[in-house]
Structure 1
Amino acid sequence: MKTFFFLSIFCITCILPASSQCLDDQKSLLLGLRNSLRFNHSDSTKLVRWNHTKDCCNWDGVECDAFGHVISLQLDGEMISGGIENSEYLFNLSHLEKLNLAYNSFKYSQIPKGISNLANLTHLNLSYADFAGQVPHEVLRLKKLVSLDLSNYHYLSPFLQLENPDLKMLVQNLKQLKELCLDSVDISTQGSDWCHAVSSSLPDLRILSLRNCYLSGPIDSSLLELRSLSVLHLDFNDLASGVPDFFANFSRLTTLSLAQCSLLGSFPEKIFQIPSLQNLDLSDNWLLSGTLPNFPQNGSLRTIVLLDTNFSGSLPDSISNLTLLSRLDLFGCSFFGRIPPTIGNLTELTHLYISDNNFIGSIPLFNLSKKLTFLGASYNSLTGSISSSLFALPSLIWLDLSHNEFHGQVQELSNLSSSSLEILDVSYNHLEGPIPKFFSELEQLTMLLLSSNKFNGTVQLEMFKNPYLDTLDLSDNDLFVQSTGSDSSFPLFPNVTLLRLASCKLQRFPNLCRQSRWESLDLSSNQLKGEIPNWIWEIGNGSLRYLNLSNNLLHGFQKPYKFPSLSVLDLHSNQLQGELPIPPLSSLYVDYSNNYFTNSIPNDIGHFHSNADFFSVSNNNLTGEIPPSICSATALVLDLSANALTGGIPPCLPKKKKLAVLSLGRNNLSGTIPDTFSVNCRLKTLDLQKNALSGKIPGSLVNCPFLEVLNIGNNRFEDTFPCMLTKTHLHVLILRSNKFYGDLHCPQAFQEWPYLQIIDISTNNFSGDFSLLPFSKWKGMVSANDIKKSRYDHLQVTGGYYQDTVTVTMKGLVMELTKILLIFTSIDFSNNKFHGEIPYSIGDLRSLYGLNLCHNELTGPIPASIGNLTQLGSLDLSVNKLTGKIPVELASLTSLSFLNLSDNRLFGKIPEGPQFQTFSAASFEGNDGLYGCPVDTSCYEKGSGISPPGFQTEEVHLKKEIDWDYVSAALGFAVAFGSTVWLTLHCKRWREMFFGKVDQIYLKFFRRW
């Protein structure tokens, strides 16, 4: 019997043709399919080549079995947009075993139900093809499926849902699956549910990819049933749990990817030591901690990605045991110590990211493999000088050592003409000395970024003759950059498209008029004087898209001039005069602020600025009314503040749905705010401070649910507290110096403002019982963590970020914060008619920095709970009717640098403490019952020359502009506040260096929120 069977097989094999030939019915179905599909013929590489004169089994993307039946159809990336919904051609290919329609665009249509006709399918790939809706029941009939991929891009919201059928029904019907990829399919199940569903039905599963599927944790131990599991992707889910130890028991695991999963706790070290593990990605899990273990000999790991986690410790010498390691990414962790020299033995290493840590010492790269192509070591504390051997690595094409503490010179090298270095970035360090000449010898160099160091000396631009140089940045050093200004007919940089020479002591424009490929030019913060030459608008033959000439001494435009098709035009902080120039039609970002432009805003300005994201003419001398054409602009940010504009606010402005920032403050505008805010308005900032506006806050402002900053201080409004704004996202509310009246007892008012950081309602006629205010429900001030999570998000526009300006009264000073601090909080209810006691619940506002309740009618004692406000830097309770003793708890407030309790009815001994001894007697005057230091003059030794600290009893209205970038309250208002502000305002070099350091500190401690 067996002999007969084998003879039969042999005979059948003998009579079959050597190569299969497409059957006529199969060819007809394929040609019909091709003609019915909608696809882009110019982008197609397979369908356009199907020709009826050829054997269809030889067509691109088609595979047949020995009998001429089509068994595989690979139409991925063919730009198909439709035509398969009810395709009789596709779904009659009944022998089809593999169908691949990935990377097409079916415009969010449903997976066709006819798919169930293809009962022989073993592989179905519909990934990244823009299918949407519920996964149909018909997929459950594909019982032979071994591989199913319905994935979409993780950064998109899920288009496909597994609800009915759900995941459990899917896997119970498709029990042959060995590969299941459902990235960005909405599954929405608990950890125990999805883990049990998969492990109980798919014991032979090898690949499981469930990225961005709305899964929750914790990960259940039932997954251990998947003994053959090799690849596990669970990225972009909110697991909010630890990584289980049992993952180390997956003996065949090669890839484990858990990026951005809200992981907690400590990562089990033994997972690193799984013998088969090749790829590990734990990135963007801020609360996940751990250390690197001692790695065993000949480990299989090829990539380790731990960026933006809380891993710490030192790098073990045993890392050299990972002989196959090609990528090590430790960006944004908390590693420290020296980089082990053994890292140089990693012969396969091509990508090394160790930036934003606490490494010290030098970089031991002397023995690194010639295969190293990328080294990133920015944001560390690396010191010493950079070894010359680093630049001699022949395969290195990208080097980033920015934000470190290097010192010393880069050593001169020779014989570098064969170097393959393409990108060199050593910006934001402390490198010093002249620019090394060998830079010009790096023939493959395309990007040279040397900004924000201490390089000095004179640099001739002509030294950079690198033939492929595309980007050159010498900004913010101590360099004196010059150009010979030669009249040569050849361009200075034949291939450069981006040149940044900010703060390079340029006294005249370099000769760039012959540049042929120009796209971006930054000559800001130099000493350029006179007129802007008209040739600058013609460089690059009109290809210039970005021009920054800000912070110079320019006073006009050489005529005639015509703007090219610029996207970004930044001329702020010069001495430009005359009429406001009409911006180019193509502009997306235009900044004319801080100049001396006069006359009125051109009547047709809006028609020329119809596409811009950002338009600012603040701090000029513009007069006249706001032209109605301004409403034709689609700007996200419109800043006309600090001019001399008159008239009213055009009623069309509030109607603009896309407008996010409207800043008209510090003008002479009059009338009322138009009650025309549109439904679904996107406004985030409304700044109308310091005008002559009157009337009431318009009720239509309730249509702006995203409102974060409302500043209408110093006007003539006469209204009650704006209770209708309780459902907005207000972070800043400024009503100061108006005629508001009544109490603050709105229904659910403050409960609905969980993000409030700054509230200033001072100098009005508000009244009511202060003790009834529910401070414990002001969540934005209760804890610093809450503020970090719900911080005010600055608006991103084409040219950067827009920062609001807020004026606050703090420490007796009127200060203007040009960048709202993420964790700065203050309350100013001064100069009103509040009565009653200060509630004990005010001590719940633990992140509060400033509290000003002066000039009211408050009674009762100072609550001891104020001692809980450990961040408090300024406290003013003066000119009230407070009684009792000063709580001793106040003496423990070590951050307190301003205190005024004068003119009350306090008595008893003034608490003793180091901080209290820094305040003068004027802080306590007007309280006849107080005694002790400092009101008792015997505290100061007679004849010793020691005098009590000075104190200003009057408010000193010194307007200080503080340009702080993401700096915490603890840094922002220290005891040395005055000297810090002075340096910030008057020393540009110090200011830029200070803000760079503040950025690092902020990123290090607060980025996770």
Structure 2
Amino acid sequence: MGYVKLVFLMLFSFLCQLAFCSSLSHLCLKDQALALLQFKQMFPIDAYSKLLSWNKSIDCCSWNGVHCNEATGQVIELNLTRCGLRGKFHSNSSLFKLSNLKRLDLSENDFSGLLISPKFGELSSLTHLDLSYSSFTGLIPAEISRLSKLHLLRIKSSSDSLRFRPHNFELLLKNLTQLRELNLDSVNISSTIPLNFSSYLTTLHLADTQLYGMLPESVFHLSNLEFLDLRHNPKLTVRFPTTKWNSSASFMELYLYSVNATGRIPESFGHLTSLRTLELYSCSLSESIPKSLWNLTNIEDLNLGDNHLEGPISDFFRFGKLRWLSLGNNNFDGQLEFLSFNRSWTQLEFLDFPSNSLTGPIPSNVSGMQNLQWVRLSTNHLNGTIPSWIFSLPSLTDLDLSDNHFSGKILEFKSQTLFSVSVKQNQLEGPIPKSLLNQSELYYLLLSHNNLSGQIASTICNLTKLLVLDLGSNNLEGTIPLCLGEMSRLLILDLSNNSLSGTINTNFSIGNRFIVIKLDGNKLEGKVPQSLINCTDLEVVDLGNNELSDTFPKWLRALPYLKILRLRSNKFFGPIKDSSTYKFAQIRIIDLSSNGFTGDLPVNLFENFEAMKIISEKSGTRKYVADMSFFYYTNSFIVTTKGLDLELPRVLTTNIIIDLSRNRFEGNIPSIIADLVGLRTLNLSHNRLEGHIPASLHQLYVLESLDLSSNKIIGEIPQQLASLKSLEVLNLSHNHLVGCIPKGKQFDTFENSSYQGNDGLRGLPLSKDCGGDEGVPQATTPSGLDQEEEEEGDSSIISWQAVLMGYGCGLVIGLSIIYIMLSTQYPAWFSRMDVQLEHKIVTRMKRYKKRN
């Protein structure tokens, strides 16, 4: 019994001591708790912050995000990622009192506009430091390179607001010899890549860092390297090793797109047998894919898009673990037959071959791809029907077969998770599948430029998330569903070039988001719906080529962003009355041609075309009106310019056009048009305009096409128009113009058709001689000096003897004429002839004497 008591006492004593020691080991030191509480007070704390649990009545080692050394009670780890911290973070922060910190994560907070404090360099025990996506700005302090124990350093940014001083990046790599992971994505390094890297490095992120020069080959020979990301450094040149890489056994992910790796893919890639991800997008690679690449049997993600690679697509079936295969924007050719005998791609999710030269049909006997979500084969030469297995994919989200030669019908889709469907620019027929109109997640539906028929069902309005509806250039008929105007998220509505009829009864609701509305090329009647003024984001309105009958919808002036207004070829009528309330400040293209507008040209309308009063400066990148390419849609328009109907697949912001032709406008051409200096095309032809051509039009410096034909314009062509260096097409035909055609510059290139139908015009290229070398009218005097000036250039070589001979011959001819005239009794006519002839001969003789 005594033995049992002794054992019990010993056990009790041990448990008490263990409990006492345990309580001591988790007791947070006061100075550590105080420092953390002072740090907390620097920031406003929201209801979801980890810092809500920081309370002095609780052991700080149990606070959220805080981890202590169990033996000493020192705080050694702070994980404050996504804590909603925002505000000041200065060098006197109490955080820097935690000198034993080994891990510090402040990522994804908001320290907007603040510098990274040099005091971070005093936390000498740090092995992990993460300051990513916390909106720090300015220079990264050189003191960071003092943290020689770092295993992980992440300072990736969402912009280029962070940067290194010259040589500080090199200093960082030189001192941090223990690094395993370095992530500086989107930091402005603007440097070459030094040779010295930690031999322990496994992960290197340097995407979008303005690196330049040659990538040292030694990077590929880091023996522990598993992950390398150098994306979006177009000034960085990469030369791959031609022999086996030292890191080949460990390399698993390689991201090198948008760098300069000109040349072919080397055979050495075949040694990277552990590689799971290979992205060489937009690297200027050429030639065929080397056979050694088929050794990468562990590859899961392969992206070789936007290069110059060529050859048939055939052997990719060897990659049995593929999830992502992207080969778009290359020169691959051949057919897709390999899909039919591939049975190993059970994991494939992304099949992306757009913009190549693939031919033939898509094989119909394909199976084993039930996980396929994205199928993109656009802009090839594929034909035949779309195989049923594509419509049967249960998880399909994105289908793009546009710009091919597919025929047949669009079958019903099995998937209920469609996000985007584009089969535009094919020869598909039949009705719109009902399954497409019941997709709750569909954002993009593009079926244009096919031969689809039938009506547009009102159930299309069930697509409540739809952003783009493009059904243009088909054979659809019936009326426009009234509910379309109530689709609150729709940005683009294109029903152009169909056979839709009836009135536009659509009620566009307040708060809609429409940017483009194109209903042109149908059989629509009635008036323009005034509810369009609720579309306050509208940039494009195209109602051309219909049978609309209305006065000019001047209330459209309420649309602040309207850039293109096209009402051509309808039955609009009446005057466009002057009104001080006209705005249209952003208009770049206004086409009211082929209607019945009357009255004077609208001066006040022109006065408010503010966007036309600016000549766009040339820049390195082209800008487009209502550029919707982000939404898989481009604004194409037919405009009459340079005498031709041209289809513009996209409208540049510099395509500034006014077309008021084929109406019944009267009066003069207002000189205020000269203020629209950005004009490229001005077409006022086939109206009833009178008066003169304003000389001020010479201020339209960038004008490329001017058509004033088939009017009643009088007077001369202003000589000032000869200064229009950009003018390529001029049509002034069928007016009442007189005088001489200006000469020089562009006017020397115009043909007879530019002036025909103006009986009073003279000069080149017309056959009527204008007289004078300068192409301007010469004064005619009774002495006939116009003929004299024409021959003046040759007078210096006429000898005195030649003059006498001419005089003698003239005397004989003159006597003959005298006889004839006297015999026919025309003395007055003869008298004038004689005086002029004598005056000319005497004048030439005097000039000859003076010159000799």
**Same fold, TM exceeding 0.5?**
yes
Q: Report what 1:794 is aligned to.
A: 627
Structure 2 residue 575 is matched with structure 1 residue 743 = yes
Deviation at 1:934, TM superposition (A): 2.8
Deviation at 1:865, TM superposition (A): 3.0
Q: Report what 1:412 is aligned to.
A: 242
Tell me if structure 2 keeps the 8 A contact 1:74–1:101: no
Structure 2 residue 308 is matched with structure 1 residue 508 = no
Matches of 1:637 and 1:653 in 2, distance apart? 12
SS of equivalent to 2:544: coil
Structure 2 residue 606 is matched with structure 1 residue 775 = yes
Deviation at 1:652, TM superposition (A): 1.8
SS of equivalent to 2:311: strand
Inter-CA distance 366–510: structure 2 relative to 1 (3 Å threshold) = farther
Inter-CA distance 308–83: structure 2 relative to 1 (3 Å threshold) = closer
Matches of 1:580 and 1:353 in 2, distance apart? 44
Amino acid at match of 2:548: F
Deviation at 1:914, TM superposition (A): 2.5
SS of equivalent to 2:673: helix
Structure 2 residue 653 is matched with structure 1 residue 822 = yes
Tell me if structure 2 keeps the 8 A contact 1:679–1:704: yes
Query: Where does the alignment leave 5 or more consecutive residues of structure 1 unmatched?
Result: 1-50, 104-124, 131-148, 153-175, 182-208, 213-228, 234-254, 262-270, 280-301, 328-347, 358-362, 941-1009
Q: Report what 1:899 is aligned to.
A: 730
Kindly provide the CA deviation profile for residues 291-317 of structure 1, in whole angstroms up to 9, marking residues without a partner as x: xxxxxxxxxxx99999889x9xxx9xx
Tell me if structure 2 keeps the 8 A contact 1:787–1:822: no
Matches of 2:769 and 2:328 in 1, distance apart? 61
Inter-CA distance 388–230: structure 2 relative to 1 (3 Å threshold) = closer
Aligned 1:461-860 pairs, distance under 5 A: 463=294, 465=296, 467-468=298-299, 470-484=301-315, 492-503=319-330, 504-511=332-339, 512-524=342-354, 525-535=356-366, 538-539=368-369, 541-548=370-377, 550-559=379-388, 562-583=392-413, 584-603=415-434, 605-607=436-438, 609-634=439-464, 635-728=466-559, 729-745=561-577, 747-748=579-580, 750-751=582-583, 753-770=584-601, 772-784=603-615, 792-795=625-628, 800-860=631-691
Inter-CA distance 551–452: structure 2 relative to 1 (3 Å threshold) = farther
Amino acid at match of 2:406: L
Amino acid at match of 1:740: F
Amino acid at match of 1:837: N
Q: When you count helix as a share of all residues, which structure comes out higher?
A: 2
Matches of 1:517 and 1:379 in 2, distance apart? 36
Kindly provide the CA deviation profile for residues 940-961 of structure 1, in whole angstroms up to 9, marking residues without a partner as x: 9xxxxxxxxxxxxxxxxxxxxx
Kindly provide the CA deviation profile for residues 608-666 of structure 1, in whole angstroms up to 9, marking residues without a partner as x: x3321111211221222112221211211111111111111111222222222111111
Kindly provide the CA deviation profile for residues 403-450 of structure 1, in whole angstroms up to 9, marking residues without a partner as x: 67989x977334454485842435586934x43212232455722315
Kindly provide the CA deviation profile for residues 361-407 of structure 1, in whole angstroms up to 9, marking residues without a partner as x: xx976856567945668999x99x99866755666812347767989
Tell me if structure 1 keeps the 8 A contact 2:269–2:292: no
Inter-CA distance 402–874: structure 2 relative to 1 (3 Å threshold) = farther
Deviation at 1:514, TM superposition (A): 1.0
Correspondence for 2:171 among 324, 331, 340: 324
Structure 2 residue 256 is matched with structure 1 residue 425 = yes
Matched positions, count: 679
Tell me if structure 2 keeps the 8 A contact 1:555–1:574: no
Kindly provide the CA deviation profile for residues 272-308 of structure 1, in whole angstroms up to 9, marking residues without a partner as x: 9xx97889xxxxxxxxxxxxxxxxxxxxxx9999988
Amino acid at match of 1:612: L
SS of equivalent to 1:915: helix
| Between 840-849 and 633-642, the greater mean CA deviation after superposition | 840-849
TM-score normalized by structure 2?
A: 0.67
Kindly provide the CA deviation profile for residues 126-175 of structure 1, in whole angstroms up to 9, marking residues without a partner as x: 99767xxxxxxxxxxxxxxxxxx6449xxxxxxxxxxxxxxxxxxxxxxx
Matches of 2:33 and 2:136 in 1, distance apart? 49
Deviation at 1:897, TM superposition (A): 1.6
SS of equivalent to 1:535: coil
Aligned 1:254-265 pairs, distance under 5 A: none
Inter-CA distance 740–67: structure 2 relative to 1 (3 Å threshold) = closer
Tell me if structure 2 keeps the 8 A contact 1:326–1:349: no
Q: Report what 1:134 is aligned to.
A: none
Tell me if structure 2 keeps the 8 A contact 1:412–1:437: yes
SS of equivalent to 1:710: strand
Q: Report what 1:440 is aligned to.
A: 270
Matches of 1:664 and 1:529 in 2, distance apart? 31
Inter-CA distance 484–921: structure 2 relative to 1 (3 Å threshold) = same
Inter-CA distance 439–128: structure 2 relative to 1 (3 Å threshold) = closer
Deviation at 1:464, TM superposition (A): 5.1
Matches of 2:677 and 2:61 in 1, distance apart? 62
Deviation at 1:674, TM superposition (A): 1.3
Inter-CA distance 631–63: structure 2 relative to 1 (3 Å threshold) = farther
Inter-CA distance 450–869: structure 2 relative to 1 (3 Å threshold) = same
Matches of 1:72 and 1:405 in 2, distance apart? 45
Matches of 2:192 and 2:617 in 1, distance apart? 42
TM-score normalized by structure 1?
A: 0.57
Whose Rg is larger?
A: 2
Deviation at 1:705, TM superposition (A): 1.0
Query: Where does the alignment leave 5 or more consecutive residues of structure 2 unmatched?
Result: 1-18, 67-78, 96-109, 119-130, 145-153, 175-180, 772-852
Q: Report what 2:840 is aligned to.
A: none
Matches of 2:290 and 2:383 in 1, distance apart? 23
Kindly provide the CA deviation profile for residues 947-981 of structure 1, in whole angstroms up to 9, marking residues without a partner as x: xxxxxxxxxxxxxxxxxxxxxxxxxxxxxxxxxxx
Tell me if structure 2 keeps the 8 A contact 1:662–1:685: yes
Tell me if structure 2 keeps the 8 A contact 1:57–1:70: no
Matches of 2:378 and 2:482 in 1, distance apart? 35
Tell me if structure 2 keeps the 8 A contact 1:126–1:150: no
Inter-CA distance 904–57: structure 2 relative to 1 (3 Å threshold) = farther
Tell me if structure 2 keeps the 8 A contact 1:366–1:390: no
Matches of 1:180 and 1:742 in 2, distance apart? 77
Deviation at 1:350, TM superposition (A): 7.9
Matches of 1:851 and 1:931 in 2, distance apart? 24
